Amino acid sequence: EGFREDDVVEIGVLTVRQGQIKDFFENAVIFPIIVRGQVVSLTGRMLSENPPSKFMHLKGEISYLFNEDALCDADEVIICEGPVDTITAVQYGYTAVGVLGAQAFKESYLTKFKNVKGIFGCLDADEAGRLGTKRLDQLFNGDIKIIRLPEGMDLNDFFNK
């Protein structure tokens, strides 16, 4: 309430499909991207079978990591692929942040890790994850420990099997 429909469509929370206004995140679990206590974006994981894309993000550039505030006082952190893997790692007692896509880690994110002593990368064990892991290793100049999962698994699968 209190928001103009055009504004909500413009930022991407609602979308126009077949001439009708629809929820952009229909059939998705929505995860807020929170930085310093403020919601700065939304991302979602599709629940439907065989979606065109497993994850959905609001329009615009992705400038944040999922659970980024965890970097403020972390000695060690695991870089995961997506919110679900990040949440699972945290539930199992690890400090974790999530990239919103296997190859979405940007060079500009490196400064966010300046006070972290131990950095671990654990992306999905698929082709996109392997490419993303290679990119992480290059960006951190080898100062990252890579956690390799069994083929076809992600961190959530690994912890819950």
Per residue in 9-39, pLDDT tens? 888 888 888 889 888 888 889 999 999 999 8
More confident residue, 140 or 2: 140
| Confidence (pTM) | 0.86
Q: Is the pLDDT of residue 51 over 80?
A: no
Report the range of poorest mean pLDDT among 13-22, 85-94, 124-133, 146-155: 13-22
Q: How far is CA 74 from CA 28, 62, 87, 114, 125, in A?
A: 30, 22, 16, 10, 25
Pairing of strands 96-99, 76-81: parallel
